[in-house]
Amino acid sequence: EVQLVESGGGLLQPGGSLRLSCTTSGFTFSTYAMSWVRQAPGKGLEWVSGISDDGDSSNYADSVKGRFTISRDNFKNTVYLQMNSLRAEDTAVYYCTSQGLIWGQGTMVSVSS
Amino acid sequence: SYELTQPPSVSVSPGQTARITCSGDVLPKQYAYWYQQQAGQAPVMIIYKDNKRPSGIPERFSGATSGTAVTLTISGVQAADEADYYCQSADSSGIWVFGGGTKLTVL
């Protein structure tokens, strides 16, 4: 069974850091690009970042550039999102997805003082 | 950056046809994708590369493209189709963008 499971979300104060993980199974992870997409409460989908299958190339939305870093470990079948200098507007459910076809269930990140 | 524009809402009676449009300057050059998101759930891809259906998606869902717009058509709408629908595309460097989403209401 193909599965993506996000973890690492939580409640933290502005300026804090968090690392999200997305552990995958059931498909050849190393041959697929991966992305993180977020959804603020009551809002639409927002693409955050993407990484190539080999990890050599990555992209970021302007809203997170310079603060977030995407990475992957093809031996552990896991993609990560390191989030620094968090702001209230980063509050959202964070989903990982394999090329938009397979999605995890999401992990909630809340940034509040 | 570029934008994709969708109507905020579309309403249709059961059994009728719903059409949701998405417009953007990037669409003649890049593929469009459509997602369905039920309340409290993760998105599900229902159309990829403008007009192709992933395995398991009913034929009632179809996609079409014309110039700077793409259209998702849902034929024979059912109550279970009530959801938010998002279009998505990507530029040549791989940066994705989503439309603002359309809430489909089945009357």
Is there a contact between B37 and B84 (Cβ–Cβ < 8 Å)? yes
Residue B69: the pLDDT is: 97
> Can you give the pLDDT at residue B2?
85
Is pLDDT above 80 for B1?
no
Q: Residue A18 corresponds to which amino acid?
A: L
pLDDT of residue A12: 96
Q: For position B6, what pLDDT does the model report? A: 98
Tell me, what's the pLDDT at A67?
Answer: 98
pLDDT digits (tens, 9 = 90+) for A27-72: 999 999 999 999 999 999 999 999 999 999 999 999 999 999 999 9
Instruction: Tell me what pLDDT residue B42 has.
Output: 98
Q: What is the pLDDT of residues B72-87, one digit of tens each?
A: 999 999 999 999 999 9
Distance CA B98, CA B35 (A): 10
Place of tokens 């869902």: B61
The token duo for B51 is 């007009």
- 3-state secondary structure at position B64: strand
pLDDT tens-place string over residues A5-39: 999 999 999 999 999 999 999 999 999 999 999 99
Q: What's the pLDDT band for B92 if we cut at 50, 70, 90?
A: confident
Tokens representing B18? Answer: 């719903």
Summary mean pLDDT of chain B: 96
| CA-based nearest residue in chain B for residue A6 | B42
Q: Name the residue facing A47 among B93, B97, B100 (closest C-beta).
A: B97
DSSP conformation class of B80: G
End-to-end CA distance of chain B: 36
Q: A45–B35: do the CB atoms touch at under 8 Å? A: yes
Unique residue bearing structure tokens 């990475």? A71
CA distance B76 to chain A (A): 24
Please classify residue A42 by burial: count the beta carbons closer than 10 Å to its beta carbon, then call 0-12 exposed, 13-18 middle and 19+ buried: exposed
Contact A38, A18 (CB under 8 A): no
Q: Of the candidates A44, A47, A103, which has its C-beta nearest B42's C-beta?
A: A103
3-state secondary structure of B79: helix
**Which among B1, B42, B96 has the least Cβ separation from residue A95?**
B42
User: Among residues A79, A83, A22, which one has the least CA distance to residue A53?
Assistant: A79
